[in-house]
A and B are shown apart, each in its own frame.
Chain A
Amino acid sequence: MTANNDQGAGLSRRKVLECMTWAGTGVLWTVAGGVPRSLGLVGEAHAQAAGFTFMQISDSHVGFDRPANPNVLSTLEAAINKVKAVPARPAFMIHTGDISHLSKPSEFDDAERIISQARLDVHYVPGEHDVIDENTGKLYLERYGRGTKGAGWYAFDANGVHFVGLVNVVNLKAGGLGNLGADQLAWLEDDLKGRTDSTPIVVFAHIPLWVVYPQWGWGTEDGERVLGMLKRFGSVTVLNGHIHQIIQKVEGNVAFHTARSTAFPQPAPGSAPSPGPMKVDDDKLRTVLGIASINLVPGQQRLAIVDTPLQG
């Protein structure tokens, strides 16, 4: 039960529901890079929640020390404390990129030291700040890329949901937006092939997959191709970071959502000369940083996304 083959045709919806009934949400599990591992027993107190919850944090920019937030480690720590305070223990966490500011080993180390305090399995995708080492992402892949393909993309299944982590921050073309590339698109097409339309899909990547504001590069060149492949599925949730603010929309069966940063805010599209870090009053900073928790209740098409600021 705790083992699932994520390479195969995938569990049918009915099978998943049977499994969940049997489990009574007793065991939370996940599969990363083809290696299933149990996340341990869930305490009785939490067993009343029918669905399961996972967390999203984003854009921690460890190494950033400019006026917009000279202490990004303390705000990251505050974010992790928020995660730890979530009443129903989350199944795992995703980090939608820009873990570091300059892809330095010390920055990744510091991030890991704090994020690991959540004691959750974390599934990462890189932001453009995570692949600017001399070998364009080698350091990131060494640390986070085990079991991934290409520049770090992968899929896994958890509680009947199919999760896909995509990379849209490498090989960017002059004048363009975020980019996935032909290899990744071919892989995704193949990955989705055997899945039934009723499988809930969660896709996460750093740069928004849809075009939010092209003047600032806030979108993905070939994101439309992904959305085309996802059209047939009844429940699709797209989670992104990069723009350091919450923007959401629903289009058909697809819900789009971007998370706050844990480091610094960025201006609303077009509201400033550039998308650079936005300096707010010190006592306001933690009200514009935050985390997201995503809850899935079986049978409900839409996932419930709750954004919680670090303060207020």
Chain B
Amino acid sequence: MRITLVRAALLAAKVGLILNALNALNALNARPAAAAETAAAAGTTVKIDNFTFTPQSLTVKAGTTVTWINEDDIPHTVVATETAFKSKVLDTDDKYTFTFTAAGTFQYFCSLHPHMTGTIVVVPAGGGGAAP
């Protein structure tokens, strides 16, 4: 069980890296500013650290795979308030990914420590320009 979870996480991480690289390339082609590259590369990962989701609100385009990484010494979960997605328990360094296909605002929380909350804002794809 654990192995498949790790494998899935690794695979997802790879996919995420490729997506990040593509995003970065697109960004480079589209605009000269190095800032755009940073935004695109950092823009699909949520760090779980100190019982906090960082960034607490993340804006991505539809079709983006978002990766959560638990960097705490305590397990956490990523659970959508409206049941759109739900991770298994993430121990230290475990990852969870979810691909947001539809636009919308998704609230989520850690079901073990429900004071931990976050938001993913998904904007329609092809709108042009990197997420803020």
Contacts and interface: CB of A to CB of B under 8 A. Distances in A.
Given A128-B113, A276-B73, 10 more contacts: A66-B73, A129-B75, A172-B111, A173-B114, A174-B109, A174-B117, A175-B117, A216-B115, A217-B113, A274-B52
A132 B50 contact: no
- The SS class assigned to the B binding surface is loop
Nearest to A136: B111
B115 A277 contact: no
Contacts of A275: 51
Nearest to B72: A276
Contacts of B52: 274
B59 interface: no
Contacts of A215: 115
Interface in A246-278: 273-277
B15 interface: no
Interface of B: 50-52, 72-75, 77, 79, 81, 88-89, 91-92, 107-109, 111-117
Contacts, number: 58
Contact of B75 (A101, A134, A216, A274): A101
Given A66-B92, A174-B107, A132 B112 contact: yes
Contacts of B73: 66-68, 276-277
Contacts of B77: 132
Interface residues of A, number: 25
Interface in A206-222: 214-217
A132 B89 contact: yes
A102 B91 contact: yes
Interface of A: 66-68, 101-103, 128-129, 132, 134, 172-177, 214-217, 273-277
B50 A214 contact: no
Nearest to B49: A274
B76 to A, nearest CB: 10
A175 B107 CA distance: 10
A278 to B, nearest CB: 10
A172 B51 CA distance: 16
Given A66-B73, A66-B92, A101-B75, A177 B114 contact: yes
B74 A276 contact: yes
Contact of A102 (B51, B75, B79, B114): B75
B51 A174 contact: no
A176 B51 contact: no
Nearest to B116: A217
A40 B53 CA distance: 52
